[in-house]
Structure 1
Amino acid sequence: MSDVKVLVLLGSLRKESVNRQLAELATEVAPEGVTLELFDRLGELPFYNEDEDGDDVAEPVRALRAVAADADATLVVTPEYNGSIPGVLKNAIDWLSRPFGNSALKDKPAVVIGSSLGQYGGVWAHDETRKSFGVAGPAVIEDVKLSIPSATFDGKHPRENSEVAGSVREAIEKLVAEVG
């Protein structure tokens, strides 16, 4: 397999979030030749405003778009906030959707995984993220669904759960298989 670069977008800003731990796990279990790069600056992005989107766009937006342009695929790892997408992630999707029809992620494969409280592990947020990303330009892989109830981890790092580690690796393998 040739080298594949995967952009990782994390829907939680919390340093100790289980979703950050899942992103760490993804980096650890990625197949040889696959590099995952977490863009850890979503909290720095200004709210999307078309009036601000031009040649002089804010530096964090330029950085996000540059990393996205350099990536072959995207892995989104996100919790669910109030039954939907965390605001920082939705805002990043809005910035990445421009220019409309020719975004940095246009036609590149994307997968959404994550964990949240409750018995469904963030299913609503993951479905909404897939829908929003699908409109924004990436080729969302709809059959990769990994929504893990946070109680699964019992306070431990996800890497300590071999079933979860295997499922995360499988999600990455399916994502990489879609890279053209």
Structure 2
Amino acid sequence: MKIIGIVGSLRKDSLHRKVFNQYKELAKEHFELIDGEIAEFPMYDGEHDDHPAVVTLAEQIRSADGVIFFSPEYNYSIPGSLKNALDALSRQNPQPFAGKPAAIVGASPGNAGTARMQYHLRQVGVFLDLHIMNKPEVMISGAFSKLQDDVIVDEQTVEFLGLHAKSFAEFVRRF
């Protein structure tokens, strides 16, 4: 089973890149997690639908069994980089997300754990015709206190991420 992972932060030392990397290891027994790169996407303006970065990721998504978004929350919502990528990908034909199972993983140094972003992303997912897994939801709060040397060391969180990967694999098999 192949799953595309899209990291919603372009930050060099991104918390979500660290979570993605660890999740990839935890998910190995359930599926292959492939990095869906959005860093090279142009700003969406309706004139670059054939940009190589956009076309490549659209093809990767079409051939994958599902998608997982690893994203921070910026100003109570979806980061601009991720929203830009979703807007660009939504204009591809055939639509790469249509009918795909998806999940959202978020981590935050604060207490909300990306809850608001996740619900906004779910709204966008309706337009994209994504089938987003409802449970379990991953909203890691106090994330920096759970990291050591770029790895989550909090046992409960690591166990929960592994459970999420297993649950997502089961969810994908239903499609």
Q: What is the TM-score normalised by the length of structure 1? A: 0.86
- Structure 1, residues 62-93: CA drift from partner, whole Å, max 9, x if none? 11111111110111111111111101111111
Contact 1:31 1:169 in 2 (8 A): no
Give, in whole Å, the separation in 2 of the partners of 1:137 and 1:97. 10
Pairing partner for 1:27 from 8, 24, 43: 24
Contact 1:112 1:144 in 2 (8 A): no
SS state at 1:9 partner: strand
Distance of aligned partners of 1:154 and 1:64 in 2 relative to their CA distance in 1, 3 Å threshold? closer
Question: Offset at 1:156?
Answer: 4.9
Which deviates the most, 113-122 or 72-81?
113-122
Residue of structure 2 in register with 1:83 after alignment: 76
Give, in whole Å, the separation in 2 of the partners of 1:130 and 1:123. 11
Give, in whole Å, the separation in 2 of the partners of 1:62 and 1:90. 16
5+ unaligned residues in a row in structure 1: which ranges? none
- Aligned partner letter, 2:23: A
Question: Offset at 1:158?
Answer: 4.1
Contact 2:30 2:165 in 1 (8 A): no
Q: What is the TM-score normalised by the length of structure 2? A: 0.89
**Number of equivalences:** 172
- Structure 1, residues 20-48: CA drift from partner, whole Å, max 9, x if none? 111011111014251000123x1210122
Give, in whole Å, the separation in 1 of the partners of 2:127 and 2:100. 13
In the alignment, does 2:123 pair up with 1:126? no
Question: Offset at 1:127?
Answer: 1.2
Residue pairs, 1:16-95, within 5 angstroms: 16-40=13-37, 42-53=38-49, 57-95=50-88
Give, in whole Å, the separation in 1 of the partners of 2:119 and 2:35. 21
Residue of structure 1 in register with 2:91 after alignment: 98
Residue of structure 2 in register with 1:168 after alignment: 161
Give, in whole Å, the separation in 1 of the partners of 2:155 and 2:35. 23
Q: Root-mean-square deviation (CA), in Å?
A: 1.9
SS state at 1:83 partner: coil
Pairing partner for 2:131 from 128, 139, 144: 139
Residue of structure 2 in register with 1:14 after alignment: 11
Contact 2:58 2:92 in 1 (8 A): no
5+ unaligned residues in a row in structure 2: which ranges? none
Which contiguous aligned blocks of 4+ residues in structure 1 show a shift greater than 3 angstroms? 154-159
Question: Offset at 1:162?
Answer: 1.8
- Aligned partner letter, 1:38: D
